[in-house]
Amino acid sequence: GAGRPRPDRRAIEEMLSGGQEILVQVARSPIGSKGARLTSYISLPGRFLVLMPTVDHIGISRRIADEAERARLKEIVETLRTQPHGYIVRTAGEGVPQEVLAQEMEFLNNLWNHIQERFHEVSAPEMLHEELTVTLRCVRDLLAHEADRVTIDSPEVYHSVYDFIQKFMPRLSNSLALYTGEEPIFDAYNLEVDVQRAIKKKVWLRCGGYIVIEITEALVAIDVNTGRYVGKRNFAETVLKTNLEAVKEIAYQIRLRNLGGIIIIDFIDMESKADQEKVYSTLREALSRDKAKTNVLPMSDMGLIQMTRKRVVKSLPRMMCEPCFYCEGEGMLLSRRTICYNIFREVCRQGADSGGNRFHIKVNPVIADLLLGQESQLISSLEERVGRQICIYPIDDYHLEQYHVEEIRDK
């Protein structure tokens, strides 16, 4: 039953003694009144591998289903490891070449050696290692595998990254550069345009069409439209060309924005099965260069393609933006006329229950202009209906939907 001691589990008093210093890792952060959960089974995650220095075991992610690929990865790890450390090949390691895995294994081993050195140099309690910053994770993940050079415009960050590389990736020390130009680094490398495009919903295509990217809680919806593009021949060719150009931009935007989870793409309808297949195969080919694991289903009869992409961190728009304080993330506001009519109904409600002399209505200046202009006749009719004068007061710091109806009684 619950609480009954297991016969194979030794009492903690038999394993530890007072004053003994041990190396532990936080397995779960503290929550409320509960403290952190600690473990002596250390695990150091990389991009493709997880090093477990206290366990002699090689594991392959269950999500890697291909048996030949599992055997290849296990053989590579067994060949490369020089000590009886344990390794788990992560899902992202599928298809990764041996030299890339060797570089990451070298990094993780250097990290573990550094932790051990620190353990023998300091006295408890002491933090020996913490999760890498975003900058250092980018250096770890990209510099060794995808980028030839990293340029940093902050001397402080540059020296931090340089020290990190010297300790754990010394072969790549010459791949780091400090930017000293006068103009902003984003301008120097023409990055500002891409950054701005990465947070806008509408992305224009060269042909004149455009795509609209909507990020919701449940999924990401991408809609393809012909826009200004009408083509030079028949409509079917126009649609196919727009969809094919959209495919390349969609694959790029998915990587750029780091979109994950369920993604639904609504292409322009195509009657030809051959055209549908061409768009589908082009999308799969464009996504094959994506390091994140993707799964693309065939196009439906309605022109929809459903796909999934492994979500690791927040998307770029989620990281760079926050919910609009004005609409509180709804993405919509009540129309100005709807707000006016809401005010009219409130005046009618109050006018039926009291006997004041006039109404003071405080509103946003935009609504005040509408009430005193286009809706002035309705205001006059409302005054006759409730038998009171109505005074409008614009308040600069009022939200567009905000208003206050107050009945005034003369003394």
**Which letter does DSSP use for residue 31 in this model?**
B
Tell me what pLDDT residue 2 has: 46
> Is 25 in contact with 43 (CB distance < 8 Å)?
yes
Closest CA to 43 of 170, 131, 136: 131
Q: Residue 51: phi, psi to the nearest 5?
A: -90, 130
Give 191-258 as a DSSP string: -HHHHHHTT-SEEE-TTS-EEEEEE-SS-EEEEEE-TT---SS-HHHHHHHHHHHHHHHHHHHHHHHT
What is the C-alpha to C-alpha distance for residues 23 and 17, in angstroms, rounded to an integer? 14
What is the C-alpha to C-alpha distance for residues 281 and 276, in angstroms, rounded to an integer? 9
What is the C-alpha to C-alpha distance for residues 225 and 265, in angstroms, rounded to an integer? 11
- Weakest mean pLDDT among 91-100, 132-141, 198-207, 215-224: 132-141
Report the phi/psi class of residue 231: left, alpha or beta, with left for phi > 0 and alpha for psi in -120 to 50: left
Give 299 or 234, the one with higher predicted confidence.
299
Tell me what pLDDT residue 411 has: 63
Listed in sequence order, the DSSP H helices in 127-184 are: 134-138, 155-168
The DSSP bridge pattern shows strands 49-52 and 58-60 to be unpaired
319 pLDDT tier (thresholds 50, 70, 90): confident
Positive or negative, the Cα torsion across 348, 353, 357, 363? negative
Bridge partners of residue 302, in order along the sequence:
none
What digits encode the pLDDT tens for the residues 138-173? 887 777 666 778 899 999 999 999 988 888 777 778
Positive or negative, the Cα torsion across 145, 151, 153, 155? positive
For residues 379-401, b (16+ Cβ closer than 10 Å) or e, as one string? Answer: beebbeebebebebeeeeebebb
> Is 257 in contact with 315 (CB distance < 8 Å)?
yes
Tell me what pLDDT residue 145 has: 62
> Is 101 in contact with 48 (CB distance < 8 Å)?
yes
298 Cβ contact list (under 8 Å, min separation 6): 280, 305
Query: Per the structure block, which two tokens stand in for 244?
Result: 């094919």
Q: Which CATH class is domain 38-123?
A: alpha beta
- Strand, helix or coil at 351? helix
Tell me what pLDDT residue 146 has: 65
The DSSP bridge pattern shows strands 202-204 and 176-178 to be unpaired
Report the phi/psi class of residue 261: left, alpha or beta, with left for phi > 0 and alpha for psi in -120 to 50: left
Query: How crowded is residue 87: how many other Cβ atoms within 10 Å of its Cβ?
Result: 29
What is the C-alpha to C-alpha distance for residues 190 and 178, in angstroms, rounded to an integer? 17
- Strand, helix or coil at 403? strand
The rounded mean pLDDT for the chain is 86
Cα-trace Rg, the chain:
31
**Which letter does DSSP use for residue 65 in this model?**
-
The DSSP bridge pattern shows strands 58-60 and 86-89 to be parallel
- Strand, helix or coil at 61? coil
Check if 38-123 and 336-408 are the same fold: no
**% of the chain residues with pLDDT over 70:** 94
Which amino acid is it at 314? K
355 pLDDT tier (thresholds 50, 70, 90): low
Domain ranges (residues) in the chain: 38-123, 131-189, 201-320, 336-408
Q: Is the pTM of this model over 0.85?
A: no
Taking CA 108 as the corner, what is the angle to CA 105 and CA 111, rounded to the nearest 5 degrees? 150
What is the C-alpha to C-alpha distance for residues 243 and 306, in angstroms, rounded to an integer? 15
What digits encode the pLDDT tens for the residues 246-298? 999 999 999 989 899 999 999 999 988 999 999 999 999 999 888 788 899 99
CATH of domain 336-408: 3.40.1260.20
Average pLDDT for 121-138: 82
Tell me what pLDDT residue 233 has: 66
Give 353 or 124, the one with higher predicted confidence.
124
With 0-12 CB in 10 A as exposed, 13-18 as middle and 19+ as buried, what is 344?
buried
